Chain A
């Protein structure tokens, strides 16, 4: 086993002293007045619109039983063989990721079906709690990503989103907004940079 690297704190006191010697008046820390920020009457509609804008696709289904049929309509799903599902009550996968120890072994996964906690209407993002992921890399290494999220779980804006996760205790959590993308070559948008090439969001009525 390697020796753990200990914290280098030689400069710590010097930095803090330098800051402490210059007193600066501290104005109060402002809070956001939620009445002054945008809210949507039809947040699902806004979410769907924004998700499309960021390159993802929304599918609204009434029941969990419809998830598979919905995904089957996508060619690259029908032909996929290596599927990890983290929402088995909606759809079964072909690989049990909990049995895999080394995340590198997930490099050939075609699809990950993840579980979203809630949607954010203003930017088409979905919050994923790291505790739902046996391996964090599943979200990023699969060629395609689908997220199953309950229709009832939606907020309008990021202030409400952070209110919801005020006490989240997982080691990891992420807002996912659309597939991975880059515009680093002459500002041409290309979907599928390093992570998923496409993102499907299944908004489920009875979840």
Chain B
């Protein structure tokens, strides 16, 4: 059983530290602004989103067909295709490949899927040394943390903190916090790891049914370095990563980096068609882990369109202020709040409420997932299953009664406004009234519009 996440409590410390939340908000807003510029540079932006959404809808509907086509073509190119029903199964498959090759040193590039499956822990428990090679992931790994963002794993960490971590683990100068200096130190440190790596593990951005090929996008070049030295490459992917045809990449490579970081494309968009050569191996692990179940839901199926660009996080005003760890999930932010309860409704029931329903995520999403409508739909499901606290359900029941009986509504309103006017401030502005912790209550008018209307317009 997972512990129940109460987002407001989990976010409290972060949001109430202005040095943290305002700085974090600004950093992500900067990324979103870069995205806006790139999106605006293409007159066909909305057309691309529309097309991407159409391609994904088609693919997910016809998923069994494309998975088999992919398997066939990848196998023909010499890859070994494994099927994992869930996270544990995925981890077992990876471990078996490592054991078969008697390897202990793994270099891994960014993969949200392996985060979702908890691969690192599992392998470490089995005596295998896994090095995350993406700089941000390496930073969180050295600190014993998890990524707080799916594209910018260390966005919550300040450069001084990175300096401390590197001083401790990589021997950089004490107090050094210059990003250039620190990145250079990481380059040297990770070069050695790359050269010593026995197997490279990567995620997958897109898998092409028609060719059996894989596409991996990085800026650092770590996926490429990690797979072009060792003889064995393991690529782990959720079954939703498929695209029917290679030319569909034209749409997705144009959207992905622009949405993610405001770059026109990632530094490296690498196409892997089978293993490197006759003496190498490519293992592809197709992971379900709840995806085929998610596909059954009319309401939430579109969440499978997600290409993990992170734009919904960058734009989310709640995420920006509360930080990724407040979601206590591998994928935070709007898409995480949609996906997490599909895994465990009770544990993640507060996440669909960690949203002001502003709708910015739905407008920013390159594959047009109606994120805020899905979050609203989640609320209905949770209430239907009585997972919302009784006090909240009762207060809504009362409100509903009030609004069904206008005379009662007017009476309660009158009493309330009267009370607000005559009660001493301490009685209305106290910690029991959550509204007033940070805000004043409105100044109550003497009469409602209804009363005014009676007096001024003949009725």
Chains A and B touch (C-beta atoms under 8 A apart)? yes
* Interface flag for A41 (CB, 8 Å): no
* Chain A residues, CB < 8 A from B85: 11, 14-15
* Interface flag for A74 (CB, 8 Å): no
Chain B residue at minimum C-beta to C-beta distance from A187: B27
The answer to whether A162 and B89 touch (CB under 8 A), given A174-B268, A185-B135, A190-B183, is: no
In B194-230, which residues have CB < 8 Å from any A CB? Answer: 194-195, 219-222, 224-225, 228-229
Residue contacts A-B, CB under 8 angstroms, 21 given: A5-B101, A9-B82, A10-B83, A11-B84, A20-B64, A29-B245, A37-B42, A103-B229, A107-B191, A125-B269, A141-B229, A158-B265, A162-B249, A172-B271, A173-B271, A175-B265, A175-B269, A177-B263, A184-B136, A185-B135, A192-B183
* Interface flag for A181 (CB, 8 Å): yes
In A159-191, which residues have CB < 8 Å from any B CB? Answer: 159, 161-163, 165-166, 168-188, 190
* Chain A residues, CB < 8 A from B31: 187
The answer to whether A184 and B267 touch (CB under 8 A), given A27-B54, A137-B229, A171-B277, is: no
What's the Cα separation between A145 and B182 when bound, in Å?
Answer: 22
In B94-118, which residues have CB < 8 Å from any A CB? Answer: 96-97, 100-102
Contact between chains at A140 and B58 (CB < 8 Å): no
* Chain A residues, CB < 8 A from B229: 103-104, 137, 141
* Chain B residues, CB < 8 A from A50: 264
* Chain B residues, CB < 8 A from A29: 54-55, 58-59, 244-245
* Interface flag for B273 (CB, 8 Å): yes
Chain B residue at minimum C-beta to C-beta distance from A37: B44
In B101-141, which residues have CB < 8 Å from any A CB? Answer: 101-102, 133-136, 139
Shortest Cβ distance from residue A199 to the other chain B in the assembled complex, whole angstroms:
9
Contact between chains at B239 and A15 (CB < 8 Å): yes
Chain B residue at minimum C-beta to C-beta distance from A120: B265
* Interface flag for B292 (CB, 8 Å): yes
Chain A residue at minimum C-beta to C-beta distance from B84: A11
Contact among B75, B154, B228 with A137 in the assembled complex (CB-CB below 8 Å): B228
* Chain B residues, CB < 8 A from A188: 159, 179-180
The answer to whether A104 and B195 touch (CB under 8 A), given A27-B61, A172-B272, A175-B269, is: yes
Contact between chains at A16 and B100 (CB < 8 Å): no
Chain A residue at minimum C-beta to C-beta distance from B283: A5
The answer to whether A18 and B293 touch (CB under 8 A), given A180-B221, A184-B154, is: yes
What's the Cα separation between A135 and B43 when bound, in Å?
Answer: 39
Binds A, one of B1-9, B250-258, B394-402, B413-421: B250-258
Shortest Cβ distance from residue B132 to the other chain A in the assembled complex, whole angstroms:
11
Contact between chains at B81 and A7 (CB < 8 Å): yes
* Chain B residues, CB < 8 A from A186: 27, 158-159, 162, 179
* Chain B residues, CB < 8 A from A179: 267
What's the Cα separation between A173 and B428 when bound, in Å?
Answer: 67
* Chain B residues, CB < 8 A from A20: 64
What's the Cα separation between A122 and B162 when bound, in Å?
Answer: 35
Contact among B153, B154, B272 with A171 in the assembled complex (CB-CB below 8 Å): B272
Contact between chains at B265 and A107 (CB < 8 Å): no
**Interface residues, chain A, CB within 8 Å of chain B?**
2-12, 14-16, 18-20, 22, 24-30, 32, 36-38, 50, 53-54, 103-104, 107, 120, 122-125, 135-137, 139-141, 157-159, 161-163, 165-166, 168-188, 190, 192-196
Contact between chains at B276 and A136 (CB < 8 Å): yes
* Interface flag for B295 (CB, 8 Å): yes
* Chain A residues, CB < 8 A from B135: 182, 184-185, 193
Encoded as 1 (CB less than 8 Å from any A CB) or 0, chain B from 55 to 68 comes to: 10111111110011
The answer to whether A158 and B267 touch (CB under 8 A), given A5-B80, A7-B80, A171-B273, is: no
Chain B residue at minimum C-beta to C-beta distance from A20: B64
Contact between chains at A24 and B295 (CB < 8 Å): yes
Shortest Cβ distance from residue B71 to the other chain A in the assembled complex, whole angstroms:
8
The answer to whether A26 and B221 touch (CB under 8 A), given A7-B80, A175-B268, A177-B266, is: no
Chain A residue at minimum C-beta to C-beta distance from B292: A18
Contact between chains at B134 and A170 (CB < 8 Å): no
Encoded as 1 (CB less than 8 Å from any A CB) or 0, chain B from 181 to 199 comes to: 0111001001100110000
The answer to whether A32 and B251 touch (CB under 8 A), given A8-B83, A125-B265, A183-B261, is: yes
Contact between chains at B269 and A174 (CB < 8 Å): yes
* Interface flag for B296 (CB, 8 Å): yes
* Interface flag for B347 (CB, 8 Å): no
Shortest Cβ distance from residue A180 to the other chain B in the assembled complex, whole angstroms:
4
* Chain B residues, CB < 8 A from A8: 82-84, 93, 96
* Interface flag for B25 (CB, 8 Å): no
* Chain A residues, CB < 8 A from B182: 185
Chain A residue at minimum C-beta to C-beta distance from B194: A194
What's the Cα separation between A188 and B47 when bound, in Å?
Answer: 32
Encoded as 1 (CB less than 8 Å from any A CB) or 0, chain B from 289 to 303 comes to: 000110110000100
* Chain A residues, CB < 8 A from B246: 162, 165-166
Contact between chains at B61 and A24 (CB < 8 Å): yes
* Interface flag for B275 (CB, 8 Å): yes
The answer to whether A194 and B249 touch (CB under 8 A), given A30-B51, A54-B264, is: no
* Interface flag for B342 (CB, 8 Å): no
The answer to whether A136 and B268 touch (CB under 8 A), given A11-B83, A19-B64, A30-B51, is: no
* Chain A residues, CB < 8 A from B30: 187
Contact between chains at B225 and A190 (CB < 8 Å): no
* Interface flag for B36 (CB, 8 Å): no
What's the Cα separation between A194 and B221 when bound, in Å?
Answer: 6
